[in-house]
Amino acid sequence: MNDRLSSKPIPVHERLILALDVPTAEDAKRLVEELGDSVEFYKIGLELFMAGGYFELIDWLRARGKKVFVDLKFFDVPQTVGSAVRRLRDRGAAFATVHGNDAILEAAAREKGDLKILAVTVLTSLDRGDLDDLGFACDVDALVLSRARRALELGCDGVVSSGLEAPKLRDRLGERLLVITPGIRPIDNRESDDQKRTVGVAEAFANGADYIVVGRPIRNAPDPRAAAEAVQAEIHGVFSADDRRHT
């Protein structure tokens, strides 16, 4: 049995989150319809927010029984972030991301209601050289662990973290927090792009992820639905191979 494998009662089919990073809401709807029941959970971020129709898209997804991850990385003075979370919490979204210091995270957690707040640790597009440029002298693992521990203490529900740092999070913080791992690159799809700290599907869950976020390997596939189904099959294989059962 893998001690880091998530034991949270999450339906296996919902552990895949598809990043809807497309130009317009209409493009997003077409992709969702093409994917059908192969994906149940969608992340919508800044590109769609700036395209218009963002909240209508949330309503459209929710009306079709889909779960929604609002990835806007709220970062502003605490009062403004708290107000934004308060406005969002009744829209039916499951997750929202917040970036910033303790006061910002605390303000978001205070207003979250049933919305789960995820703290951003270190973006998967950053590597050691980038952190040096930003003035962080500590290593990536230490920075991620520090931010995750603070987020949990402040009332956040989880973190967005590379699969490379997930093992330390699980080893030090156990099952107390949600770990959402972006930048997933299936082994046969390690394309060259802006993601630097990536892992594969099985590796991410073995390292302790509760959910994975996949974007381009599915969106850009010749057959997106077949690509999503292949990822789902790999996820089901990970959890069915373990002696704990997830439904």
Catalytic residue among 73, 112, 116, 196: 73
CA 19 to chain centre: 9
Contact between residue 105 and residue 53 where contact means Cβ atoms under 8 Å apart: no
Q: Tell me the H-state helices in the chain.
A: 25-35, 46-51, 54-63, 78-88, 102-110, 128-134, 140-153, 166-173, 201-206, 216-219, 224-241
Token pair 């910002």 in the structure block, residue:
104
d(CA 139, CA 153): 22
**Pairing between β-strand 158-160 and β-strand 16-19 as defined by DSSP bridges:** unpaired
- Secondary structure letter of residue 5 according to DSSP: S
Backbone dihedral angles phi then psi of residue 180, each to the nearest 5 degrees: -110, 120
Contact between residue 36 and residue 65 where contact means Cβ atoms under 8 Å apart: no
d(CA 182, CA 17): 9
- Is 73 marked active-site? yes
Catalytic residue ranges: 73
